[in-house]
């Protein structure tokens, strides 16, 4: 499911807000044969073996959605360090450790949850992550979007993501049910000229 972009956080109720991480969006399948798949369909498993090792400890038949990130000493995602790591397409001596920041579960133990409301998927993800979260970051949320956005500005995060409560997961499509509000200047324009 893809985000639309907004200029401001809405003031009305009915939204869940999360930190916007600056990483590589990947779907992850769990279990001993766990894999990572990029938004473009590339198998990124070999690039991030520490994430694949964490997925191996989870129940087979689960599909997670999240961002692979390199976090700095304050816990902020650092895209340049992640990109440098990913360009090498595998682990190497001195590589930055990556973290899988998981914000949704699409399939749990073989049961498709995409038609389930966001808050029910989040509850399922919470139970799953409590049992298996030692090497992944469980991304929770708050209903106070203005507070989270002000915090993102203050500590220089990329921005925030808003998700409509009650919304379902629609694969590969932009939806007004999920949006992002970026911090001004968070993503330099030259980033995508590489």
Distances from the Cα of 117 to the Cα of 2, 60, 101, angstroms: 16, 23, 20
Q: Is 163 a catalytic residue?
A: no
Higher pLDDT pick, 176 / 134: 176
In this prediction the pTM is 0.92
Catalytic residue among 20, 109, 120, 122: 20
For the domain spanning 2-193, the CATH number is 3.30.470.30
Chain segment 62-120, per-residue pLDDT in tens: 999 999 999 999 989 999 999 999 998 888 888 899 999 999 999 998 999 999 999 99
25-58 residue pLDDT tens: 999 999 999 999 998 899 999 999 999 999 998 8
CA distances from 112 to 86, 115, 118, 150 (A): 30, 8, 13, 35
pLDDT of res. 148: 97
- In sequence order, the 6+-apart residues with CB closer than 8 A to the CB of 19 are 139, 148, 152, 157, 158, 160, 161
CA distance 49 to 55: 10
Domain layout of the chain by residue ranges? 2-193
**116-172, pLDDT tens digit by residue?**
999 999 999 999 998 776 679 999 999 999 999 999 999 999 999 999 999 999 988
């Amino acid at each position: 499911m893809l985000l639309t972009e907004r200029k401001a956080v809405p003031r009305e109720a009915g939204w869940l807000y999360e930190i916007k991480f600056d990483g590589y969006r990947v779907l992850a399948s769990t279990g001993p044969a766990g894999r990572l798949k990029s938004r473009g369909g590339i198998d990124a498993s070999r690039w991030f073996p520490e994430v694949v090792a964490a997925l191996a400890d989870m129940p087979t038949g689960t599909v997670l959605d999240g961002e692979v990130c390199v976090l700095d000493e304050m816990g902020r995602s650092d895209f340049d360090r992640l990109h440098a790591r990913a360009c090498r397409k595998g682990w190497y001596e001195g590589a930055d450790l990556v973290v899988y920041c998981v914000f949704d579960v699409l399939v749990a133990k073989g049961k498709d949850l995409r038609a389930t409301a966001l808050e029910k998927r989040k509850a399922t993800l919470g139970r799953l992550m409590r049992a298996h979260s030692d090497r992944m970051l469980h991304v929770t949320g708050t209903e106070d979007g203005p507070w989270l956005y002000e915090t993102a500005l203050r500590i220089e995060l990329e921005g925030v993501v808003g998700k409509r409560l009650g919304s379902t997961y629609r694969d590969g499509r932009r939806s007004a049910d999920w949006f992002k509000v970026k911090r001004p200047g968070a993503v330099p324009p030259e980033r995508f000229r590489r």
